[in-house]
A and B are shown apart, each in its own frame.
Chain A
Amino acid sequence: MNVKPTCYFEASARTRIAKLVDPDSFSELCPPHLRHSSPHLARLNAPVAFDDGVMVGRALLAGHPVLIAGQEGKFNGGAVGEVHGAKLCGLLERALSERPAAVLLLVDSGGVRLHEANAGLIAISELMRAVLRTEEAGIPVFALIGGSCGAFGGMGIVTLLCTEVVISEQGRIGLSGPEVIETVKGVDEFDSRDRALVWRITGGKLRRVLGDATRLVDDDIASFRAATAELLGKHAERRLPASDLAALTEEHEQLSARARRYDTARDGRIVFEEAGFTELESVALMPVDDFNRHLEGTP
């Protein structure tokens, strides 16, 4: 049977979850008819969503039990408010008692929801701590990124705390978004309308070369599923060693070294060059398979 591929970028969070996991295996926690929507948005006279822009639940993926969350990027840019954050934190807390094979976070978010900024900031810090606690308990946390909002602000930080990061070329990871940087520091610092530049700095291919992302996949849900299934298999074979202070300190040192190395870089080009991509113009057009083959062939 020939199944038509479903674009990950365009799909809603509900569709992404439904097509990512084993058929009919998803059962939702705090489902929409319970109406856990944002009291802050309601007070501000802004539209609310029944699920506050994130769905959480249990599912099987290639037979592995997982806890899974999907952020809806089209609702307020997937931004994290109080209820939204509490649902994500609750899911990670549940992982400690249920001990799934992994927790999957389908990140599609610009960061903290400005309508409820204080509650959102607290939620992000709780979420960071929850991810580290889950990993410390030996349960891997995966971030999957391929939506229009990418993973920015607080969710960019949460993403980089995850054990595995699966990203498509369309996916992006960053802290301040390009528009924010341009507004604050001027167009000379970052021209947010130069899409090629934005992707050379925040996009999936650059994040894969830098090692922030552990898999680069095509923009269809089946490819995300295949990569996630492969990683679940890898982690089932070799349980995650409990993360400790020494490991975190070492990672910090590597990141500091990286920051020093690219201190004066104005563009992602130099990173691609050092990874052995000679024709820089063709990197953007290179199919994902060729890109991965090239990268994994690099010592």
Chain B
Amino acid sequence: MEQFVMTFPVGNRQSEIHPPRVCGVVSSGNLEVLVESGEPGDSCRIDVHTPAEGFRDIWNAVLGDFVERHPVGGVNVTINDAGATPAVVSLRLDQAVELFRSEKP
């Protein structure tokens, strides 16, 4: 297992506090994404737990693209991965943020 945190400055703080939302399932080739309000400042903090070791560069690229698509500041994302491909990670992150935003504060 590998665990690391990546923090992206976004410069666009989510003004509303939403309840936490979880999306996806920890099963082979899939992942679970938890989105919570809370990170102080305008950054997005992403905490990754993955059994696939040695893919940190790819994670950095995939998560960098994600915060470009969704500049959500003041948000914590935690990922329990079970060997998902980059495309699945991207889709699941988009889905999780959409769910999170749709929830009334």
Chain A interface residues (CB < 8 Å from chain B): 12, 14, 31-33, 45-51, 53, 72, 74-75
Segment with Cβ contacts to A, from B4-12, B23-31, B59-67: B23-31
A283 → chain B closest CB, angstroms: 32
Q: How far is the CA of A34 from the CA of B34 in the complex (A)?
A: 11
User: Is B1 located at the chain interface by the 8 A CB criterion?
Assistant: yes
Partner of A47 from the list B22, B36, B51, B78 (CB cut-off 8 Å) is B51
Sampled A-B contacts (23; CB under 8 Å): A32-B22, A32-B32, A32-B34, A33-B22, A33-B34, A33-B36, A45-B51, A46-B51, A47-B49, A47-B50, A47-B51, A47-B80, A49-B25, A50-B22, A50-B32, A50-B34, A50-B80, A51-B22, A72-B25, A74-B26, A75-B25, A75-B26, A75-B27
Q: Chain B: which residue is nearest A52 at the CB level? A: B26
Given A12-B25, A72-B25, also A47-B81 (CB < 8 A): yes
A47 and B20 contacting across the interface, CB-CB below 8 Å: no
Chain A residue contacts of B51, Cβ below 8 A: 45-47
Q: How far is the CA of A188 from the CA of B39 in the complex (A)?
A: 60
Q: How far is the CA of A164 from the CA of B12 in the complex (A)?
A: 52
A48 and B26 contacting across the interface, CB-CB below 8 Å: yes
User: Is B17 located at the chain interface by the 8 A CB criterion?
Assistant: no
Describe A's contact surface by its main secondary structure.
Answer: loop
Q: Chain A: which residue is nearest B81 at the CB level? A: A47
Chain B interface residues (CB < 8 Å from chain A): 1, 20, 22, 25-27, 30, 32, 34, 36, 49-51, 78, 80-82
Chain B residue contacts of A32, Cβ below 8 A: 20, 22, 32, 34
Chain A residue contacts of B26, Cβ below 8 A: 47-49, 53, 74-75
Partner of A45 from the list B1, B22, B82 (CB cut-off 8 Å) is B1
- What number of A-B contacts does a CB cutoff of 8 Å give? 45
Q: How far is the CA of A14 from the CA of B25 in the complex (A)?
A: 10
Chain A residue contacts of B34, Cβ below 8 A: 32-33, 50
Chain A residue contacts of B1, Cβ below 8 A: 45-47
Chain B residue contacts of A14, Cβ below 8 A: 22
Q: Chain A: which residue is nearest B83 at the CB level? A: A47
A81 → chain B closest CB, angstroms: 13
Q: Chain B: which residue is nearest A13 at the CB level? A: B25
A264 → chain B closest CB, angstroms: 40
Q: How far is the CA of A75 from the CA of B1 in the complex (A)?
A: 17
Q: How far is the CA of A32 from the CA of B32 in the complex (A)?
A: 10
Q: Chain B: which residue is nearest A75 at the CB level? A: B26
Q: How far is the CA of A74 from the CA of B81 in the complex (A)?
A: 13
Given A72-B25, A75-B25, A75-B26, also A49-B20 (CB < 8 A): no
Chain A residue contacts of B49, Cβ below 8 A: 47-48
Q: How far is the CA of A75 from the CA of B78 in the complex (A)?
A: 17
Nearest 7 pairs between A and B by C-beta? A74-B27, A33-B20, A32-B22, A49-B26, A45-B1, A74-B25, A47-B82
A53 → chain B closest CB, angstroms: 8
Q: How far is the CA of A14 from the CA of B20 in the complex (A)?
A: 15
Chain B residue contacts of A31, Cβ below 8 A: 20
